[in-house]
Structure 1
Amino acid sequence: MLNAAAFPVTRPESRDDLPPRTDLPTRIARMVSEVLAPAVLVAALLMIVGWHAGTTSGASRWWGLPGALFAAVIPLGYVLHGVRKGRLTNHHIPERADRRVPLLFGTASLAAGLVLLIALGAPREVLALLGAGGCGLALFAAVTHWWKMSIHAGVASGTVAALTAVYGPVALLGVPLVVLGCWARVRLTAHTPAQVVVGAVAGAVIAGTVFPLLR
């Protein structure tokens, strides 16, 4: 008689041991996560607000460019460097414990950019957006010490809130994209529903209050 013990069945111990899902909804979720990545949205938002500030104030319309450099490009470069060195898993930083230092670095980079742009006389609207972004980064860095609140969701909802402050209710047409981004992060098991909801609320509240106050 065959002994079952001689033919052990190997089972994965956790979801991380399972092969990556390749079904269509998951592929769509991955694409959405890249298109609505925080660095992409932050850079785009700064360029849009900078263009608006130049249109209304007569200043250069390209003030959002240096803002995007300090708020998005440099922080993303730091993260990608960490990925290349093996300190980080990927540019989305899935491990909560790995997020705090990149968030603090991003906050420092943004603060440096804010000081430089103040000295150079950038439009108030761009400075206000950087100030609100710094508040958001500081909050997420603090919460990340205990809980993995979704940065994707926070930046997406904050983008819509900031654009609403600039362009009015028409910008609320972007809300479905926020919902889509939240779905994508849950679909990829990067966050729980609670983490994307709280992240989205936090981003919207900060951008919807701090940014208008500083404008």
Structure 2
Amino acid sequence: MTPPATSTPPDTDTAPEPRFARLVTDGLEPRNWIIAVTLLMGWHADRLAGVGWGLVSAFFCGVVPILFIKWGERRGHWGDRHVRRRQDRLLVIPGIMLSVAACIALMKVFDAPQEMIALIAAMLAALVVILAVTTVWKVSVHTAVSSGALVMLAFAYGPWALAAYPLVALVGWSRVALRDHTLAQVLVGTALGAATAAPVFTLLR
């Protein structure tokens, strides 16, 4: 006698990832936030000349890091450009910090606007804190970068910039939906980005 058919729950481990969440994570990744904030801050600091410094900053803080990550990805050092494994981030973050520090040194030598130097210094400070936390716990870099960027834009352009904060929540949702982070990790990343960027940027600008 054939036993009755029983329904089994879907295998969540092999279920396809949410497409919209992937689009959000990729479209609002740290590189894109960094490019946007450096150009906007450059315009605020010194109009067209400042935008030139924004392009320099975007190269060192956004483009070089992603090239470094892609280089490691091609060689199998880490999985993808979002560097999911915590232990891999302990290798990636110091490499990014070197590029950001080089940007600050270049800006100091060639007398960049102080507001731009403050912006990049705040980014470096956030990386230091993220690295320290990452030694024991995986925190969301996506929400840290997006949150810190909006806080610094609010100091420069006014509190209306904080109206874009729902984008940070959307980024956090995407990271949880893709199971790359827990809710706690995206919330801590959000708080960490703002709490680090605000004092460093205001002190140095």
TM-score under structure 2 normalisation?
0.91
Mapping of residues 52-91 of structure 1, within 5 Å: 52-55=44-47, 59-91=49-81
Q: Cα offset for 1:61?
A: 3.0
Which protein has the larger Cα radius of gyration, Structure 1 or Structure 2?
1
Cα distance in 1 between the residues matched to 2:164 and 2:92: 28
Give the structure 1 partner of residue 120 of structure 2.
130
Classify the secondary structure of the residue corresponding to 1:110.
Answer: helix
**One-letter identity of the residue aligned with 1:150:** S
Cα distance in 2 between the residues matched to 1:175 and 1:66: 26
Give the structure 2 partner of residue 178 of structure 1.
168
Mapping of residues 1-215 of structure 1, within 5 Å: 18-22=13-17, 26-55=18-47, 59-215=49-205
Cα distance in 2 between the residues matched to 1:36 and 1:59: 26
Cα distance in 2 between the residues matched to 1:95 and 1:214: 33
Cα distance in 1 between the residues matched to 2:15 and 2:124: 35
Classify the secondary structure of the residue corresponding to 1:51.
Answer: helix
Give the structure 2 partner of residue 10 of structure 1.
none
The 3 A distance-change label for structure 1 pair 60 and 185 is closer
1:170-192 per-position Cα deviation (integer Å, ceiling 9, x unaligned): 10111100110111100111001
In percent, how many aligned pairs have the same letter? 39
Q: Cα offset for 1:20?
A: 4.5
**One-letter identity of the residue aligned with 2:183:** P
Cα distance in 2 between the residues matched to 1:20 and 1:114: 44
Give the structure 2 partner of residue 9 of structure 1.
none
Classify the secondary structure of the residue corresponding to 1:33.
Answer: helix
Cα distance in 2 between the residues matched to 1:20 and 1:66: 42
Cα distance in 2 between the residues matched to 1:147 and 1:60: 37
1:68-121 per-position Cα deviation (integer Å, ceiling 9, x unaligned): 111111111100011111111110001011001110011111001110111011
Cα distance in 2 between the residues matched to 1:41 and 1:60: 17
* Gapped regions of structure 2 (runs ≥ 5): 3-10
TM-score under structure 1 normalisation?
0.87
1:123-150 per-position Cα deviation (integer Å, ceiling 9, x unaligned): 1111000100000001111111110010
Q: Cα offset for 1:35?
A: 1.2
The 3 A distance-change label for structure 1 pair 79 and 20 is farther
Cα distance in 2 between the residues matched to 1:131 and 1:20: 42
**One-letter identity of the residue aligned with 1:43:** I
**Cα root mean square deviation, aligned:** 1.8
Name which of structure 1's ranges 200-209 and 60-69 shifts more when overlaid on structure 2.
60-69
Q: Cα offset for 1:36?
A: 1.0
Cα distance in 2 between the residues matched to 1:116 and 1:169: 30
The 3 A distance-change label for structure 1 pair 86 and 20 is farther
Residue-pair matches, total? 198
The 3 A distance-change label for structure 1 pair 119 and 181 is same
